[in-house]
């Protein structure tokens, strides 16, 4: 890409005060959760984390909505997107558009979050500085035209924060402040940092199985925390593969769920890569 770099442009535009304030409040609340610990609150937070980050980000926003590595009924596709919005990482059109740009310019000029621009920038600096595009559905739709065809995705992208407000109110009414701090605040902050670690850590630490044009690496500890997303070099070598953990020892819970959905007839046209660098499409038998 020509012209001013993304980082310099964002720095010139200044700090995103609204986004920064929200993140500061969430982090303070997440720390506060540590002082009101209970096993019940932790258990509920873990369940919410799997539903929102596991189903919403790994299964939904990433493998399904961005890369179309498998197909499911539209109701399930919408459900995964709704779960993704509950991470407070933005709506489906914003998330998908940003990730597609990352793959198009991975670790090159134009990559929204490359560690070559600094580890902090790749982790969260790209969110704190520059213009806010979370609700800029018209612009981001250029990079996710398939999602922009659906009124549901347009609505969810414009009002991605609404599901969190509703869920937060329900949690607060049913379980009180202790569970709210864990299941909402701590869970959201943890999910953000784990997702951001895929942008930062997996482009700096780990092993490279494939010689890709970027710095992507397989980082086992990120994979364990992100339902298999840390096998990032495998993913960059085969972006459309629903399977990220290609070796038997590369634990990939999201891939196991895709296999289960395929077994019961809900997942079709599943793209699968292998260690031998082959990609096939598994069609469900009619």
Domain extent listing, the chain: 6-206
Residue 142 in tokens: 């250029």
- 184 Cβ contact list (under 8 Å, min separation 6): 48, 164, 167, 168, 171
Q: Give the residue ranges of the chain where pLDDT is below 50.
A: 1-2, 279-286
Please state, in angstroms and rounded to a whole number, the distance separating the CA atoms of residues 69 and 224: 21
Give the model's pLDDT for residue 135.
Answer: 75
d(C-alpha 245, C-alpha 230), whole Å: 9
Contact of 28 with 48, CB cutoff 8 Å: no
Provide the token pair at 244: 């990220």
Nearest to 285 by CA among 272, 270, 273, 274: 270
User: Are the C-beta atoms of residues 20 and 129 closer than 8 Å to each other?
Assistant: no
Residue among 23, 145, 69, 8 nearest 80 (CA):
69
Q: What is the dihedral of CA 129, 131, 135, 140, to 10 degrees?
A: -110
pTM of the model: 0.92
Please measure the distance between the N-terminal and C-terminal CA atoms of the chain and give it in whole angstroms: 46
pLDDT for 2 equals 47
The pLDDT, as a whole number, for residue 6 is 77
Q: Are 200 and 126 in contact (CB under 8 A)?
A: no
């Amino acid at each position: 890409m020509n012209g001013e770099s993304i980082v310099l442009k964002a720095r010139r535009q200044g700090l995103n005060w609204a986004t920064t304030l929200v993140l500061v409040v969430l982090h303070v609340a997440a720390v506060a959760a540590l002082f009101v610990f209970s096993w019940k609150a932790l258990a509920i937070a873990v369940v919410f984390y799997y539903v929102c980050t596991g189903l919403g980000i790994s299964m939904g926003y990433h493998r399904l909505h961005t890369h179309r590595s498998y197909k499911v009924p539209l109701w399930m596709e919408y459900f995964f997107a709704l779960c993704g919005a509950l991470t407070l990482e933005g709506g489906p059109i914003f998330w998908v558009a940003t990730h597609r740009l990352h793959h198009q310019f991975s670790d090159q000029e134009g990559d929204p979050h490359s560690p070559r621009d600094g580890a902090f920038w790749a982790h969260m600096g790209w969110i704190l500085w520059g213009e806010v595009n979370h609700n800029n559905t018209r612009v981001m739709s250029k990079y996710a035209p398939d999602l922009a065809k659906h009124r549901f995705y347009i609505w969810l992208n414009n009002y991605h924060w609404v599901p969190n407000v509703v869920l937060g109110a329900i949690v607060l009414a049913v379980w009180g402040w202790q569970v709210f701090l864990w299941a909402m605040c701590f869970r959201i902050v943890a999910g953000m940092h784990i997702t951001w670690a895929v942008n930062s850590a997996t482009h700096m630490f780990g092993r490279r199985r494939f010689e890709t044009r970027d710095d992507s690496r397989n980082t086992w500890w990120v994979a364990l925390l992100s339902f298999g997303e840390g096998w990032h070099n495998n993913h960059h070598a085969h972006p459309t593969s629903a399977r990220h953990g290609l070796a038997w020892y590369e634990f990939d819970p999201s891939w196991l769920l895709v296999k289960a959905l395929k077994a019961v007839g809900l997942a079709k046209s599943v793209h699968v890569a292998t260690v031998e660098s082959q990609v096939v499409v598994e069609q469900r038998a009619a």
